[in-house]
Amino acid sequence: MNASSLAESGHVIPSVHNPHEHQRRGTTVLESAKGVFLRDANGNTLLDAFSGLWCVNVGYGQDSIVKVATEQLARLPYATNYFGFGSEPSIRLAERLIELAPKSLQRVYFGLGGSDAVDSALRFITHYYNAIGLPGKKHIIALERGYHGSSSTGSGLTALTSFHRNFDVPLKTQHHIPSPYPYRNAHAGDDAAIIAGSVSALEAAVQALGRDQVAAFICEPVQGSGGVIVPPKGWLKAMRDACTRLGILFVADEVITAFGRTGPLFACEHEGVEPDIMIVAKGLTAGYAPMSAVMLSERIYQGMADGCAPGAVIGHGQTYSAHPVSAAIGLEVLRLYTEGGLLANGKARAPEFAAGLDDLLAHPLVGDSRHIGMLGALELVTDKATKAKFDPELKLHERLFKAAYDNKIVFRAFNDDILGFAPALSYTESEMALLFERLRKTLDQVL
Ligand code: PLP
């Protein structure tokens, strides 16, 4: 097949039904990548300012990852994680994660991606409460604008309308409280009031449902797909503490935020937060192979274990859980973050990234700039004083998408005119400068 027939072949289910004329651009077929640059089937070289889908944190073409993957493929391409079997890379990866993660987390379940990990976490929560004799605790509270994947259960915790429409979610046990969203919060500019507002919304939801009916609160430390919403400092800790007071579990969905994306290895580290459950994926293998992990506190694991008869089978797992090739890749990726210096490089680039985004606040289109580590967003508005949004009929994000491609830069343009950025931790100073040169040109073109 040539480049244009690949682009027009419609058999892989697309992300849009019946596209409008302006959306009919065909698939941008990616052929290869090196460092932070993608090459498409038309021969264009594009700067990746989004690390694939916020996952290729180490950049493309890392030879050491290719080497360990190839060696593992040759030695043992597959090992089941069940019936008493396992593999060295997955056991070592679990040990390493426990060493690096917040101390509360002592047990690891490996999945394939973020969505199935969220689903697994929900199954473990149900299992835990049933096992300890609190079977009424079924309700889960999440945040508006949250994203927790697209599994049949997790998609109900996701709070983006396209994930609910025609899918019969949220379930009756799934609830959402307002996002802290500093830019559009009624208490904008007053961090303490924003935090207090979230805490009292959680308290009110638990009170309305009944403490004995609520199992957990789940949140992203920084909301990603909802528009890169960075909560005020202290928010995460306040929510963790509220969960403890309310007798519900605190689940940190760090699928995007883990592995240096916000600075430290885990976003929970910013505030010394110890979750009951933490979900990671994406940066765990940096997109080089599918893998996720659900990390549980010892209390949850022991609760499940103690509540079951000795020898009872844990009826949860997938063929590709703890896949040895993914695990070998995960170990090497963790090495690159730590001994390989990528975590430190990401921290060195973060101030340049923040300054580049903040400089664009002077641009006529930009109402808000927000960032933490190597995760950031610009929110575009028609009027900076009123924060008025663009008329959706103008299809600004589609025009931006096209202009960005013409300027050879890839970032994410969300529906509501929020531009998301997640450059790899491997960015150099000159690549960061190039990102802002191309971004500014793109914004100028859609003015
Ligand atoms: N949770 C969060 C916070 C995410 O950002 C995502 C994906 O973007 C998921 C869960 C789902 O992960 P996946 O797409 O790997 O299924």
Domains of the chain: which residue ranges? 3-50+341-446, 65-337
The fold adopted by the segment(s) 65-337 is Aspartate Aminotransferase; domain 2 (3.40.640)
Counting Cα atoms < 13 Å in the Cβ hemisphere of 409 gives 26
Q: Residue of the nearest CA to atom 12 in ligand 1?
A: 114
Q: To test the ligand 1 pocket, which listed residue (53, 57, 115) has its Cβ within 8 A of the most ligand atoms?
A: 115
Q: Is the CB of 290 under 6 A from ligand 1?
A: no
Atom of ligand 1 lying closest to residue 256 CA: 5
All residues at 6 or more sequence positions from 168 whose CB lies less than 8 Å from its CB, including other chains: none
Q: To test the ligand 1 pocket, which listed residue (147, 220, 266, 280) has its Cβ within 8 A of the most ligand atoms?
A: 147
CATH of 3-50+341-446, one of 3.20.20.150, 3.40.50.720, 2.40.10.10, 3.90.1150.10: 3.90.1150.10
Copy the structure tokens of residue 22. 């302006």
Binned average pLDDT, 10 residues per bin, the chain of 447 residues: 83 80 77 98 97 98 98 98 96 98 98 98 98 98 98 97 96 98 97 98 98 99 98 98 98 98 98 98 98 98 95 94 98 98 98 98 98 98 96 84 94 89 98 98 94
Residue type, 282: K
Q: How far apart are CA 57 and CA 179, in angstroms?
A: 26
Q: What is the pLDDT of residue 16?
A: 79
Domains 3-50+341-446 and 65-337 fall in the same CATH topology: no
Q: How far is the CA of 298 from the centre of ligand 1 (A)?
A: 25
Q: What is the pLDDT of residue 414?
A: 83
Q: Is the CB of 256 under 6 A from ligand 1?
A: yes
Q: How far apart are CA 37 and CA 435, in angstroms?
A: 11
Q: For strand 45-48 and strand 37-40, is the pairing parallel, antiparallel, or unpaired?
A: antiparallel
ipTM of the complex: 0.99
Q: How far is the CA of 202 from the centre of ligand 1 (A)?
A: 23
Q: Is the CB of 431 under 6 A from ligand 1?
A: no
Q: What is the pLDDT of residue 24?
A: 64
Burial class (CB in 10 A: 0-12, 13-18, 19+), 163: buried
Q: Is the CB of 255 under 6 A from ligand 1?
A: yes
Atom of ligand 1 lying closest to residue 113 CA: 15
Burial class (CB in 10 A: 0-12, 13-18, 19+), 41: middle
Full-model pTM: 0.97
All residues at 6 or more sequence positions from 197 whose CB lies less than 8 Å from its CB, including other chains: 178, 180, 185, 186, 187
Q: How far is the CA of 114 from the centre of ligand 1 (A)?
A: 4
Q: How far is the CA of 147 from the centre of ligand 1 (A)?
A: 7
Q: How far is the CA of 149 from the centre of ligand 1 (A)?
A: 5
Q: Is the CB of 227 under 6 A from ligand 1?
A: no
Atom of ligand 1 lying closest to residue 146 CA: 3
Q: What is the pLDDT of residue 291?
A: 98
Q: Residue of the nearest CA to atom 13 in ligand 1?
A: 114
Copy the structure tokens of residue 185. 């919060």
Q: What is the pLDDT of residue 435?
A: 98
Residue type, 418: I
